[in-house]
Amino acid sequence: DTEVTQTPKHLVMGMTNKKSLKCEQHMGHRAMYWYKQKAKKPPELMFVYSYEKLSINESVPSRFSPECPNSSLLNLHLHALQPEDSALYLCASSQGEAGGYETQYFGPGTRLLVL
């Protein structure tokens, strides 16, 4: 099973709202990722968690706050977003082996619209 699940599938929020995106995998993977994808563009890496510790933060604004409660779950907390943050937010996971060759498996994404 190579499934990564994400909830919700769609989210509409105002600029003053607080919301959270959730991601779950049961493949025993120890690395989890958040990506942002705009229409007709490749995914852009936001955060990487390795063994539940934040290992990469690609200079993402503080209105995005990641959290990794355990090895199977990854959250992205959203607060005071801007309309330009509207995008498809993708979660991915990989085995997390330090030797590389990290195949990343993506979830279906959450389509976020900020009004």
Kindly list the residues in this chain that would bind other proteins in the complex (CB under 8 A): 4, 6, 31, 33, 40-43, 45, 48, 50, 55-56, 90, 92, 94, 98, 100-109, 111
Shortest Å distance, C-beta 10 to other proteins: 10
Shortest Å distance, C-beta 20 to other proteins: 19
Shortest Å distance, C-beta 105 to other proteins: 7
Q: Of 12, 27, 21, 29, which Cα lies nearest the Cα of 46?
A: 21
DSSP for 40-52, please give it.
TS--EEEEEEETT
- The number of CA neighbours under 13 Å toward the Cβ of 2 is 7
